[in-house]
């Protein structure tokens, strides 16, 4: 039995941990051939080794997705190594510096600029180079990651992150319409409370407090596993979703239904 992505060349960013790692593993289980990228070299290489031991063709290239040159090189290396690029999962995003919390008048401009670069510019640059290849080679599917902070007021996220992720929503929709007639589908997931390292930058106690506060928004009162976010991304990238493009899919335990 073959998987939905048997022998498909797939690029996954932020693949060393969290949703990115879960997405890489999910694509691997379904037969994809993978290029993984992250700035965390040790984590990325460990993930590649894990996938290879399970029989998957997997490669790793360090790339800073806020760098045009790095992303251009990443896509070129993916095409060279895998023979093409059919699917891309653009997962890079984070809050930088002091850009947490609602009162942005007290936060540094460096935190704003850094957060916009990591959480919005990275998606733009990835799509720019991925789409340039896809429209010349029969199309493809892209899934981005936004946040509930793009759709709702989530004060803990901070203004910069909310603005960046709202930009990802509009960029996804814009690309979906612009490139639909050239065979490229572009969709996006909006995760609810999914425990990843980003929650614990301020320490375990603070991270747990934030998670517990945010969990109040879920109708289904539990955390969402990274693999559950990955499952939604895979569906959006699969032929089962062939008529789905420009869609923002909340995987949020019912939060946005309130």
Q: Is 161 a catalytic residue?
A: yes
Whole-angstrom Cα distance, residue 126 to residue 50?
A: 25
DSSP letter assigned to residue 223: P
From the candidates 100, 161, 179, 199, give the one annotated as an active-site residue.
161
CB–CB of 130/85 below 8 Å?
yes
Whole-angstrom Cα distance, residue 110 to residue 97?
A: 7
Whole-angstrom Cα distance, residue 252 to residue 220?
A: 9
Q: For the chain, count helices (H), then strands (E).
A: 8, 7
Cβ neighbours for 113, distance < 8 A, ≥ 6 positions apart: none
Whole-angstrom Cα distance, residue 56 to residue 211?
A: 34
Look up residue 51 and give its two tokens: 């996938």
Cβ atoms within 10 Å of 238's Cβ, excluding its own: 17
Backbone conformation region of residue 114, classed left if phi is above 0, alpha if psi is from -120 to 50, else beta: alpha
Cβ atoms within 10 Å of 55's Cβ, excluding its own: 9
Just list the catalytic residues. Answer: 161
């Amino acid at each position: 039995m073959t998987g939905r992505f048997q022998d498909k060349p797939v690029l996954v960013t932020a693949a060393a941990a969290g949703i990115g790692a879960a997405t890489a593993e999910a694509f691997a289980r379904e037969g994809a051939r993978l290029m993984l990228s992250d700035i965390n070299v040790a984590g990325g290489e460990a993930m590649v080794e894990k996938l290879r031991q399970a029989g998957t063709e997997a490669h790793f290239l360090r790339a800073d997705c806020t760098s045009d040159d790095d992303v251009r090189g990443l896509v070129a290396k993916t095409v060279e190594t895998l023979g093409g690029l059919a699917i891309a999962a653009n997962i890079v995003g984070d809050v930088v510096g002091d850009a947490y919390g609602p009162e942005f008048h007290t936060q540094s401009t460096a935190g704003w600029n850094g957060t916009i670069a990591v959480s919005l510019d990275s998606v733009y640059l990835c799509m720019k180079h991925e789409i340039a290849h896809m429209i010349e080679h029969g199309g493809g599917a892209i899934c981005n990651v936004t946040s509930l902070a793009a759709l709702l007021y989530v004060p803990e996220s901070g203004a910069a992150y909310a603005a960046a992720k709202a930009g990802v929503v509009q960029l996804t929709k814009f690309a979906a319409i612009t490139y639909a007639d050239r065979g490229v589908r572009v969709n996006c997931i909006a995760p609810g409370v999914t425990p990843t390292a980003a929650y614990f930058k301020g320490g375990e106690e603070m991270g747990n407090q934030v998670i517990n506060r945010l969990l109040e928004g879920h109708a289904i009162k539990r955390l969402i596993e990274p693999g559950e976010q990955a499952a939604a991304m895979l569906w959006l990238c699969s032929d089962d979703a062939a008529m789905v493009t420009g869609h923002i899919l909340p995987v949020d335990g019912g939060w946005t239904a309130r």
